[in-house]
Structure 1
Amino acid sequence: MPHPTHPFHDFNRRIIDEFRAHHGQVGGPFEGGRLILLTTTGARTGTPHTTPLGYLPDGGDRILVIASAGGSPRHPDWYRNLQADPHVTVESGVFTYEARAVVLTGEERDRAFARAVEADRGWATYQEKTDRLLPVVALHEIARPGPPNINADSPGEAIRLVHDVFRRELALIRREMTTGGSTLGAQLRVNCLTFCQGLHHHHTGEDLGMFPFLADRHPEAAPALDRLRAEHEHIASLVAELRKALTEPDPDPASIRTEVDRLTTELEAHLTYEEEQLLPLLDSGA
């Protein structure tokens, strides 16, 4: 591992500190991208090591990272660490969770890497610089009982931070659609479908958990909760339309953009209203 005074160590330390201080938002080369902090256990030292990494959504309960090391001839330390101990910790800026690292092989690895290259030619440039096959690693979230571990100081802040995750992801998807040209790439479709799944889980959790909790303690909030439930149903129908369009054999990029724009408009209004109505209740000691 780099010596503590090594410039690369200092660079990583600045990114990590900024990431944690601003709930996953950073400047510099990672600005506007999808970034996590991955903590592995040192293969030789047994001590934890944290590395900022770009990642690819992959649907379900996993994300993908690529051990590119900028095209270096040797694998990065974090990759060698997880080969020795696949139990890792992932920080998204809002959520922190334990995960199991699985190195993809064969056709599964090749399909995932091809998706990455289609979305960002930089991955191919890294592969061209080295003789080693760049590993693709799936990070599977390890399910745990109870609510997710959100890096927030209050229930209201937790909801706002989760909402901001959806806002940022939608903005990323819309930007990717703008730069994607006349086709809809495989990774972009995965990004959209992963977003849809995450939004569905979030709204289901609110309907079954947070809304009944608040209704019991704040009867006066019933009209707002009824409206929010109705908006959940409406947004679910928009998500269903987007899913349908995305899973067509030859999806039309223009139609997808229209569906994403419509969902963005409706979701932004919904999130804003929910924050106005519920954050004061959540942070009042409810």
Structure 2
Amino acid sequence: MPNNFNQQIIEEFRANAGRVGGPFEGGRLLLLTTTGARTGTRHTTPLGYLPDGERMLIIASAGGAPTHPAWYHNLLANPRVTVEDGIFTYPAQATVLKGRERDHLFARAVQADPGWADYQARAGRVIPVIALTPLGGGPPAGPAGDFLTAIHDAFRRELTLIRGELTASGPNLGAQLRVNCLTLCQGLHHHHLGENGGLFSSLEKQHPELAPALQRLRQEHEAIARLLTRLQTLISGEGTDPGTLLAEVDRLTAELEAHLDDEEQHLVPILNAMTT
């Protein structure tokens, strides 16, 4: 893609919390910043990605070109990269996958989008698959309530993406779509465990008046956990009807949205006041 086109996508992505129109509308997009192998200059490139548990996969297709893209050469020389997902910006370690792992994950990508196979057929090279693993670090500077809202917004956006993928999936659930759903379920589970065991207990000690609201939020966590268990069972089962799964995603979305709104209403003002 020409640099001016890339720059337009980058600016739109940053201005709209990761949402862009045109050919990328409704798709999974991130911004990858690498360090130039020869110049040391930082370069940012918009790329599609695939969830893979705690990491993300990117594919160096270059639209089926016969040579690897410049960003790939950069991360070979400097595998420490920066990722923007529209909600958060964080450092990550780039790992080029090899052998069976690469082949398995590329096949999974092709099942989700046959366009990857077209690129491979045209390229005349083995198209690399790269895993981006976020590196540890604390929350960004700023009010804690705003950080909590950003986490919630990431879950909201992921549910929207998964719903779109389910709608477009046809009669069969592909492996990548199952991974996307399971990644969401695991993320929500760990987020709520962290809130129950840390945030809520701390707030209860400092703000006893929040006890009734926190008890209700814990009960909402339990209800959402039951929905997640049901969703994971459907995802893991053979022959699951996408329509049935879509109905469960819609049910989860409705209950989760109500819960997140409730949590933000009661906790965000207090958290922001505590950190300003």
TM-score by length of 1: 0.89
Kindly report which structure 2 residues correspond to 1:39-54, keeping only aligned pairs within 5 A, or say none: 39-54=33-48
Deviations 1:71-114 (A, max 9, x none): 11111011011111211121212222222111112221122112
SS in structure 1 at match of 2:123: coil
Q: Which runs of 5+ in 1 are unaligned?
A: 1-6
Please list every run of at least 4 consecutive aligned residues from structure 1 whose deviation after the TM superposition is greater than 6 angstroms. Answer: none
Match of 1:214? Answer: 203
Query: Paired residue for 1:71?
Result: 64
How far off its partner does 1:250 sit?
4.1
**Residue 209 of structure 1: how far off its partner (Å):** 2.7
Q: Does 1:282 align with 2:271?
A: yes
Q: Is the CA contact (8 Å cut-off) linking 1:99 and 1:140 kept in structure 2?
A: yes
Give the structure, 1 or 2, with the largest relative contact order (CA under 8 Å, sep 6 or more): 2
Aligned to 1:4: none
Q: 1:267 aligns with which of 240, 250, 256?
A: 256
Aligned to 2:134: 141
Given residue 203 of structure 2, which amino acid in structure 1 is its aligned partner?
A: L
Counterpart residue number, 2:124: 131
The CA deviation at 1:282 is 2.0
Length, aligned pairs only: 275
Distance 1:175 1:28 in 2: 16
Q: CA deviation at 1:63?
A: 0.7
After TM superposition, the structure 1 stretch with the greater mean CA deviation from structure 2, 176-185 or 25-34, is 25-34
1:201 to 2:195 alignment: no
Correspondence 1:23 to 2:24? no
CA distance in 2, matches of 1:101, 1:234: 37
Q: Is the 8 A contact 1:211 1:225 kept in 2?
A: yes
Q: TM-score, normalised by structure 2?
A: 0.92
1-side partners of 2:165 and 2:28: how far apart?
A: 12
Letter of the structure 1 residue corresponding to residue 262 of structure 2: Y
Counterpart Cα distance in 2 of 1:205 and 1:18? 33
Q: Distance in 1 between matches of 2:239 and 2:101?
A: 22
Q: Identity across aligned pairs (percent)?
A: 61
In structure 1, the partner of 2:221 is 232
Contact 1:95–1:148 (8 Å) recurs in 2: no
Structure 1 position 249, deviation (Å): 4.1
